[in-house]
Amino acid sequence: MEQQALVIALIGALGIGAQWVAWRTGWPAIALMLVAGVIAGPVTGLIDPHRTFGTLLEPLVSVAVAIILFEGGLSLNFRELRRTDGAVTRLLLVGVPVGWLLGALACYYIGGLVWPVAILFAGILVVTGPTVVLPLLRQSNIAPRPRAILKWEAIVNDPIGALCGVVTYEYLRRAGEGVTITQLLLSLLAASVVSGLIGYGAARAVAWAFPRGHVPEYLKAPVLLVAVIGTFVVSNLVQQETGLLAVTVMGVALANLRLDSLRDIHPFKENVTVLLISGVFVLLSATLNLGVLERFEWRFAAFLLALLFLVRPATVLLSLAFTRVPWNERLLVAWIAPRGIVAVAISGLFALRLGNLGYDDGSILVTLSFAVVVATIVAHGFSIGAVARLLKVTGATERGLLIVGATPWSIALAAQLRQLDVPVTICDTSWQRLAPARRGGIDSYHGEILAEATEDRLDLSRYQVLVATTDNEAYNALVCNEFAPELGRDNVYQLGAGTHEDDRRALPASLRGRALFTSGHGVEEIVRRVDDGWAFRKTRITDKFDYATARADMADEADMLLLLRKGAPLRFFSHASRPVPQSGDTIISFGPPAGPRRAQQEVSV
């Protein structure tokens, strides 16, 4: 018992530790988790999943993958699918059979596998999988359309690959019984339809029960989690491996039923998914047997090259032919196709089954699948950023500032930032209040920031910081609280004093953004100072004109608002954060019209 607890703790520490190192360094998290698992498992022997978990290992991994797929399905909104210009549908209907065929040819003619094993393995390889693609997309700066294509493909095709393997295995197993491939496909299609209906029915049941108060708020997340596991298990009883299809359908259905109750438990599900992805990756990496490398042959290396540079590119380019997806985006999608460690587990499972059927080549699947996982993770994980930049399909090159509320103060701030080449957008519901911003050439968005339509019209990935500056402090807090899970609690700010423990009437810190300025000026105070002629000024810190000199040269009443550092995130001076300026930084301050001569002039950058 203590040994199992220690292994679980170690797996968690390694997985989350790898994610943290990836965040700090920019290295691909999937590669770091793979290395962590291999070192802790076959290299040092600290983790032996088979000895620790025994027969529970396979069902634990299966349930974890099901939850990951469900959470991924919750992020698949049909509005996003429409923006892919039919690419996902083509990759599903055309890409899967083409990839299966080309993969089988590569397995047979290059990898040297016998036809039955080649066809089965090629079916498994049509998938990419959310356990590898989602962490990769989270860390890369890719344009919205190819990002959506890769995400949809990874989640939707994941159960398809498992079903391709099932079709092949069942045909090999039952060929002696006189079962034709048509009969087998019809049987599997019927089982898939039933599983899809089970998943959709579960989604409808949740969508009916949650809004009507049949499930208390504190039980909604647990009930949903149990419902996902139950749907997965029941569907697998109908036909093995159709459970993944059922939970994917359940997630996509819930995502598009516009169930408000799910918004409150999204952070919980995302946290669980990060834990599961980290744990599964490390756990299955630790199960790898380095002894299989002894069976690695030169033709396997040729097979990997064919998979990377022939099979995947040909599959995508043929699937997306004559679509409106630009060529540079097609080439990026054609290159990015990392396979997950789960493919190793599935291959290992079928290897044992094929061995029982008398196919000796089945044992080679473990070696090949391990090689495919390592090769694709290294090749795609470390190159995605460079390839995206080369093909010019990156998102915004520099993430900027989103200001909610067009006021004289916020427009003046945006104008100052625009002079410093900082991307900034002002959002407001009033076309008239946005008029000064339009006249000043400042990007603006006319609409309600909290409206559902904003998700389609405003790309939030372009912004690293949000500042709410309307004249309603409670609304500012509402906006910050809404976007804190997406941008980070430390990246949402608002006008208004920070909370004090002795002020029972103030909004709690958990419901509001960080207060701008170290003194936390309220809305009324900012309006009064603007009326008195206060203005923004920028000051460049140098070796000769250091921070102490700059502060002494400002008016006593002036407040520092923002620190700009080349290549670094925007950093605000607030009641909770006081960044330390260095040589080369630029400080934006807000001060009165009268004061020392140097404070009244703008120092050029």
433-452: per-residue pLDDT in tens?
Answer: 999 999 989 999 998 998 87
Task: Write the single-letter amino acid at 275.
Answer: L
Tokens of 267: 């952070």
The partner residues of 428 in beta bridges, in order of sequence, read: 446
Is the pLDDT reported for residue 410 higher than 90? yes
Tokens of 492: 């949402």
Average pLDDT over residues 539-550: 84
The count of C-alpha atoms lying within 13 angstroms of the C-alpha of 263, restricted to the half-sphere facing its C-beta, is 12
Is the pLDDT reported for residue 502 higher than 60? no
pLDDT (0 to 100) of residue 91 = 92
Residue 514's SS3 state is strand
Is the pLDDT reported for residue 498 higher than 60? no
pLDDT (0 to 100) of residue 599 = 40
Is the pLDDT reported for residue 604 higher than 50? no
Average pLDDT over residues 102-118: 90
Tokens of 343: 């493919």
pLDDT interval class at 597 (50, 70, 90): very low
Tokens of 266: 């999204």
pLDDT (0 to 100) of residue 412 = 93
pLDDT (0 to 100) of residue 211 = 85
Is the pLDDT reported for residue 360 higher than 80? no
Helices (H), 56-177: 57-74, 78-82, 87-90, 96-109, 115-124, 130-139, 144-174
DSSP conformational letter for 177: G
pLDDT interval class at 33 (50, 70, 90): confident
pLDDT (0 to 100) of residue 361 = 66
Average pLDDT over residues 493-514: 68
Bigger pLDDT: 95 vs 244: 95
With tokens 């009443």, the residue in question is 557
Residue-wise pLDDT for 143-170, tens only, equals 888 988 998 888 888 788 878 888 888 8
pLDDT interval class at 293 (50, 70, 90): low
pTM greater than 0.75: no
The Cα 481–Cα 469 span in angstroms is 14
Q: Among 135-144, 174-183, 203-212, 539-548, which range has the highest average pLDDT?
A: 203-212
Is the pLDDT reported for residue 220 higher than 60? yes
User: In the chain, what is the straight-line distance between the N-terminal and C-terminal CA atoms, in Å?
Assistant: 62
Is the pLDDT reported for residue 600 higher than 70? no
Query: Given phi > 0 = left and psi -120 to 50 = alpha, else beta, which region is 45?
Result: left
pLDDT (0 to 100) of residue 194 = 94
Bigger pLDDT: 90 vs 241: 90
Is the pLDDT reported for residue 596 higher than 50? no
Bigger pLDDT: 486 vs 508: 486
Domains, the chain, with CATH or none: 2-391 (1.20.1530.20), 400-600 (3.40.50.720)
CB atoms within 10 A of CB 451: 12
Name which of 168-182, 332-346, 400-414, 526-540 the model is least confident about. Answer: 168-182
Q: Among 120-134, 429-443, 510-524, which range has the highest average pLDDT?
A: 429-443
pLDDT (0 to 100) of residue 509 = 66
Bigger pLDDT: 365 vs 491: 491
Residue-wise pLDDT for 168-195, tens only, equals 888 887 766 777 778 888 888 898 899 9
The partner residues of 463 in beta bridges, in order of sequence, read: 400
Bigger pLDDT: 603 vs 358: 358
Is the pLDDT reported for residue 203 higher than 90? yes
Average pLDDT of the residues of the chain: 83
